[in-house]
Every structure is written in structure tokens, then in C-alpha cells.
Amino acid sequence: MLQEQRFMDTRSGLIVTSINLMDIQHFVEYDGPGQKGEIVAVIKVYRFIEDPGHGWIEVPRLELIALNIEDKISSYSYQSDDGLTVYLEEDCDMSVFCRAKGWTPGDAHTNWKSEHQENTFVRNLPSYRQQ
């Protein structure tokens, strides 16, 4: 379940957005006047969802924007109804993400937790589109 919190950092006067996914994933962005945002913490363990035919890695859209790859993701990936979470398909889009993160093929799989679902909800989500 996606939970988002926004609050004012009293020391800097910046607005902090904190997104928590499944209690193991965290992404924080600082927004300030004239700033697009800066990532100060990124997800350490991503959720990899697979069914008998395919798999997707769950990523906050904000991270795709921060990595400057939002326009490199295909419509074969999916997004949540509110558009905040993107499910990158394993064949091409997940590779774009892994390269942007600087992961090598040998260490990429250590950065996610696999979850098998016989009939996954991902296939019922809208196709990805850039915002």
C-alpha cells in the first residue's frame, strides 16, 4: 500500500515528501523554491512481482523522474491508478532502470525482493504513460 506524507522541514523551510511502500521501501524528496527536487534517500529493496508469465519491478514515479528516464519507459509497463507508482516490465524497461541506477547484471537481483502472485493485480493496471 502506498502512503505519502508531506510536511515542512523547520530547519530548511523546504517541503518534504515521504513515500512509504510496503514498509520496506522509502523515497524522500525535498522541494524548494525554484528547485525540481533532490533525492536524499532512495529505496534499498524494491518489490519484484511476478506471475507465471512475466515480472515487474515496483518503482515510485518520482525516482524515474529523478533518474531522468521517465521518457525512456515503454507502454509495456504499468502504472497505479493515481500514477504515483510504476511497474516496470522485466524485458526492457527494468533494464533501463537498472542501468540508470548503476547496477551490474550480477548485483541487480540483490536489490529486490521477489513476490510470486498467480493472478497478479499488475496486469489490471493502466499502461504506463509519461506525465
Whether the pLDDT of residue 6 is over 80: the answer is no
The arithmetic mean of pLDDT across residues 82-95, rounded, is 93
Contacts of 48 (CB under 8 A, 6+ apart): 55, 56, 57, 58, 112, 113, 114, 115
The arithmetic mean of pLDDT across residues 72-87, rounded, is 95
Q: What is the pLDDT of residues 25-73, one digit of tens each?
A: 444 444 554 445 555 455 678 899 999 999 999 999 988 988 899 999 9
The span from the CA of 44 to the CA of 59, in Å, is 11
Mean pLDDT, the chain, as a whole number? 77
What is the model's pLDDT at position 21?
43
Higher pLDDT, 15 or 73: 73
To the question of pTM greater than 0.85 for the whole model, the response is no
Higher pLDDT, 24 or 45: 45
Cβ–Cβ < 8 Å for 111, 103: yes
CA angle, 36 then 37 then 38, to 5° = 140
* Interstrand relation of 15-21 and 2-8 (parallel, antiparallel or unpaired): antiparallel
Q: H or E segment at 61?
A: helix 61-66
Whether the pLDDT of residue 13 is over 90: the answer is no
